[in-house]
Structure 1
Amino acid sequence: MSDTAVQFLSRPLTAQPGQPLRVAAYSRIAEAIRTKLLQPGSLLPTETELGVMMDVSRTVIREALMLLEEDGLTRARRGVGRFVADSLPRIGIEKIRPFDQLLGGSELDVQVKRTLAEFQPASEFVAPGIGVEPNEDCWLWESVLIRNGEAIGHLQENVPISAGREPDSGKKAGSGETADDGDWLAAAADPAGRTSLAPKTLLEILAERPGMSLGPGECQISLSTAGPSRAKLLALRPSDPVLVLTQYVRRAGKPFYLAKCLVAAKAGHLSVMQSS
């Protein structure tokens, strides 16, 4: 690894308000990869080495590296170490469906239990997927997908703040705004129940909005482990395997929506819709 890369990774690490430290570590390493300070195919420093450089714990680094692998920026070789991916993941153009529908189908009902809906700074991974700049505020919705009373998936969805604005509102959201500043998505997300909307995934709510023409999109599939925080939500062990479904949707030809869904093995058979 070059001296320039070491200096970049060793800069003081600070998290944005409301942002976990693992996300800040993820963003720092992701930026080094995207700017090729860490060359494609190169071996990454160990967890201990990265922890010393960035002055954070190995747990923070381990979770950041897990996110990097989930997002296709790195790959692991058992007994050797972690490597920068040979090529960065692209934003694609396949047809997709909301994950509750994908995991449910015609015979199984999947409930959406929303656990979070708020503005957060877009990470290095999220930003290009929804067409905003890194650290620009965006919507983050988190939900647990429940089937037959059992949690089978953890879903994170992101869209630009502008997604909740009417086209003729003339308002531009910024980091100082709150979820009550004329945003119809804020009403849909409100856990206090100010509206009659049943809990749904963000993608499903967007698709039902008049004039909201979505697509095309893509769903990328990879394998990972649950990790400490998400394992609790899914009643798993941190080391248990999960399927990672990363979903992109465009609107008017531009990146608009990005979701990541961790699916537990107990979800069973998964059907993936394909079109020619």
Structure 2
Amino acid sequence: MAVNPRRRPMVVLYERITDAIHDGAYPPGSTLPSEPKLAAELGVSRPALREALLLLQEDGLITVRRGVGRTVSDQPPRRGFEQLQPMERLLAAGGPPLRVRSLVHVIEEPTDFTTQYLLAPARSELRFWESLLLNEGVPCALGQEWAAPQDVVDQLHPAFGEALRAEPETPARTMLDVLTGLSRTVALTGTSMVSATLLGQHRGEQLGRPADTPVVLITQTVRLESTPLLAAKYLLPTGAPGLPVLQAR
């Protein structure tokens, strides 16, 4: 389903408050400021704020009690795989993100995978990043990420294109972390497939595991409107942190 990149103010506001809750600006059990004060703090209209607060209440992030007001839930729901987030954050179980160790930052020609998932034309040049995710210093996952051709990225998401051209940052980051960090007001959508396979010799050497180690393979495509911006493979071997998946009815 195509998504309008100019999202309603209420949606952006919902995400701002959600981020503030998960970042500790509004700790669990704390009472939110009054509606007029919160609207002034955030620089938004009260109707948009009211809509966002209703959604936050429906999603279990806040509760409303007569005589008390709106209170942040003691155990806010942890964001799951349906929320587009970098893998190093998803696997962190609510704690600090896993550390990223960059292995490769190169430009390469399209492969069968990137032709299929990025619709990359022949002889185009694609940026490829390969990274290890470290849990307390131990490699626990491998990420391989490709960006769409530079002209496509520059046209749809100039800030992301500029970041890709810049030298890799220290500390290292995954490509999806860079993209989502630049996209607070941009409507990205992600599609993922989860399957099982074996690690293989080369990847086993990278992760320090036997070649026949079972792995969960996550194949992900991130789009802006209907155009792919990023395609990735993430390999989670036996013993990797659990991947949270939220469900609702």
Q: TM-score range by the shorter chain?
A: 0.5 to 0.7
- Which runs of structure 2 are paired with 1:218-233 in the superposition (5 Å)? 218-233=191-206
- Tell me which amino acid in the other structure corresponds to 2:163: W
Q: Does residue 185 of structure 1 match 2:194?
A: no
Count of aligned positions:
166
Distance change (3 Å), C-alpha of 1:107 and 1:208: closer
Contact 2:110/2:124 (8 A) holds in 1: yes
5+ residue gaps, structure 1: 1-93, 171-181, 190-194
Shift >4 Å, 4+ stretches = 163-168, 273-276
5+ residue gaps, structure 2: 1-81
- Tell me which amino acid in the other structure corresponds to 2:176: L
- Tell me which amino acid in the other structure corresponds to 1:126: T
User: Which residue of 149, 154, 158 maps to 2:146?
Assistant: 158
Distance change (3 Å), C-alpha of 1:227 and 1:109: same
Q: Distance in 2 between matches of 1:224 and 1:249?
A: 22
Contact 1:242/1:262 (8 A) holds in 2: yes
Q: Does residue 209 of structure 1 match 2:182?
A: yes
User: Which residue of 94, 112, 124 maps to 1:124?
Assistant: 112
Contact 1:95/1:275 (8 A) holds in 2: no
Distance change (3 Å), C-alpha of 1:274 and 1:130: farther
Q: Does residue 238 of structure 1 match 2:211?
A: yes
User: Which residue of 153, 158, 171 maps to 1:198?
Assistant: 171
Corresponding residue of 2:79: none
User: Which residue of 103, 116, 129 maps to 1:115?
Assistant: 103
Contact 1:95/1:218 (8 A) holds in 2: no
Q: Does residue 267 of structure 1 match 2:240?
A: yes
Alpha-carbon displacement from aligned partner over 1:92-129 (angstroms, at most 9, x marks no partner): xx653211111113125400101111111111221231
Determine helix, strand or coil for the equivalent of 2:166. helix
Alpha-carbon distance, 1:249 to partner: 0.9
Percent identical across equivalent pairs? Answer: 23
- Tell me which amino acid in the other structure corresponds to 2:192: C
Distance change (3 Å), C-alpha of 1:248 and 1:210: closer
Q: Distance in 1 between matches of 2:236 and 2:246?
A: 16
Alpha-carbon distance, 1:262 to partner: 0.6
- Tell me which amino acid in the other structure corresponds to 1:222: S
Higher relative contact order (CA 8 A, sep 6+): 2
Q: Distance in 1 between matches of 2:107 and 2:155?
A: 20
Alpha-carbon displacement from aligned partner over 1:125-164 (angstroms, at most 9, x marks no partner): 2123123214421111000000011100010001123279
Q: Distance in 1 between matches of 2:94 and 2:210?
A: 30
Alpha-carbon distance, 1:165 to partner: 6.2
Q: Distance in 2 between matches of 1:163 and 1:188?
A: 18
Distance change (3 Å), C-alpha of 1:202 and 1:159: same
Q: Distance in 2 between matches of 1:215 and 1:125?
A: 21
Q: Distance in 2 between matches of 1:251 and 1:208?
A: 14
Q: Distance in 2 between matches of 1:95 and 1:268?
A: 17
User: Which residue of 71, 82, 92 maps to 1:104?
Assistant: 92
TM-score, normalised relative to structure 1? 0.53
